[in-house]
Structure 1
């Protein structure tokens, strides 16, 4: 990478960090390209040379925040790992991710702006939850084709598993609850995994032996 490319990469990273702060503080509808440029301390022309619209900038922010997580899921949903271990690892990592402060803040932002800025929700879904679901569908589809899972399509199974992982956490976010210890706590990943296999495993003992 040349010095010029390196500087451009650093500048792009700085833009994304600043824009991310603006979106979380002011919401999607309340953030403008001018405001991001002003906080950066540069000209609007510089910002526009990197991103041609607010939609493109927001999409890049979501990509930036989810890139590492997507890479982790590719490793977690590894065909070489036992099905049970992969599902439990997915649940643990996914549940940790959605409870991170930035994830909660972004989810609350989108819930509040769903009608005012539907494009923000679409962008987030396409680059966040939609990608997670697609990875899970492909993984479960391979095991369903191998005869290890049954009782639903790969898409249905993926949606059920994601719902089991998100249900309680999203209830708390939507209601703005600050619950005491033990109240409205999501079940542990191993319990969700057990429930998933009760619904879809062909043979629980066989699933444990798959490598």
Structure 2
């Protein structure tokens, strides 16, 4: 299935959850304009949904990266700036679930199922087509980890991953790439985790 077909399936199977008011946001960057070999990490968000006054807000480019100052990207960008060798110019940014929902991720009881069943297989194939399998995935929320683990019961809490400089091995997740937490929550600002910052540096410059 392509992304339009996935969206159509979701509308049929989850009619009260899927919002089709806006087009799917485009990823960053446009790969037709760059050399894919320049990409050092893949950064994944959960989905584009941000609810204001009961309705999703349109986001034209993933994380609002078309905006001069994007509130969705600010925390992630602060962390990118702290990792030596990483910049907005050498990361590929996409959402796991590309469609809008009628509720935000934290209130969406079906998010993990939808991500796991519909979007992750599609995204895995797409990433494999675009990038070498050595390029790691940086995830910005624990929801993605819950959806991507081969065995969800083996999920490790964020603080343990950061404190012990751990990643998720490719054999343990559906993407079959190394998954590295890169959480946007202010608690995980890299200024508070210098050893983890060095761990990230080693992953993108190895």
In the superposition, the TM-score normalised over structure 2's length comes to 0.29
Q: Which has the higher strand share?
A: 2
Query: How does the TM-score come out when normalised to structure 1?
Result: 0.28
**Structure having the larger proportion of residues in helix:** 1
